Amino acid sequence: MLGLSREEKMAASISLFLCFIFSLANSAHASARPSRVLCWGMNREGQSSVPQDLVDVTQISLGVSHSCALAQGKARCWGRNSEGQASVPEDLGEVVQVSVGGYHSCALTKTGVRCWGANQYGQLEPPKDLGEVLQLSAGGGHTLALTKSGIRCWGLGGYGQCRAPLFSTGAIESISAGFYHSCAVVEGKGYCWGNDQHGQSKVPENLGFVREISSGFGHSCARTSLGLRCWSLYPAYTQVPEAENLFLPRSGGSHSCAMSDIGVRCWGTNAYHQTDVPVEAIDVASIAVGGYHTCAIISARGGWR
């Protein structure tokens, strides 16, 4: 500012200050961009074609060939709708959680549990005495609910997937419904029951302290104190990538994914590129795995660069 008068120096200083303020405002506006969903893998039924107006997403859940998301307290679904599984009821009200099964969808709302889609096994009909529900998990043809009084199940039960072991009330930490089997975490230990044709219900004894569990079709995965472990008779399903701090395991039809400190990692069969994580999947807040597709919630900072 050499050679400038006092008034000119003052004006220049004010101009620089305003530029700094506008820069901060623009940065704040950029960071406030809404979260969105990114999907990859099979898209034959439109299950990976995310609606363009879907923003502010806080949760996603995937089925065999349809997807659902929770955004601004409302459920949105897309993809295959042959059984009405993607047609969200208009009178659903405020939604707390969505959970997608094989060909049906469920939502935990402020007033209780609502389900829609295929109902050949009664998977849409929760017991009237369900009580307060803490978590919901929809499976292939059955639905699990973690309530204040324990695990409740309805729908297909021919493989024993609805016959949960007797656990102490209050000891159950989380549940996960697979296609024909179910799992739960109880006081740091993993339990699975139901179909075991592929070894998906045979929980390894040396898992360590279990923090989270996820049930797929013919496999199950868990995040434990010893790392992330998967079990199945199919080696491709159990070959977890060597990465530090894998967390948030999600199991699907024939593949699994998890988050790590460096991004999303997927493994298993890859016939539809469901394990090929896109380069734009950065700053991921959460993930979900379906039959043959994968989706991620891109946080406000990620995926917009």
Residue 301's pLDDT is what? 60
% of the chain residues with pLDDT over 70: 88
Residue ranges of the domains in the chain? Answer: 35-298
Residue 193's pLDDT is what? 98
* Confidence check: pLDDT of 284 > 50: yes
* Confidence check: pLDDT of 12 > 60: no
Convert the pLDDT of each residue in 28-53 to its tens digit. Answer: 333 345 799 999 999 999 999 999 99
3-state helix, strand, coil in the chain (%, to 5): 10, 40, 50
Burial class (CB in 10 A: 0-12, 13-18, 19+), 155: buried
CATH topology of domain 35-298: Methylamine Dehydrogenase; Chain H (2.130.10)
* Confidence check: pLDDT of 95 > 50: yes
The stretches of 142-273 forming alpha helices (DSSP H) are: 235-238
Is-contact 277 40, C-beta < 8 A? yes
CA dist., res. 189 & res. 178, Å (int): 18
Convert the pLDDT of each residue in 184-234 to its tens digit. Answer: 999 999 999 999 999 999 999 999 999 999 999 999 999 999 999 999 999
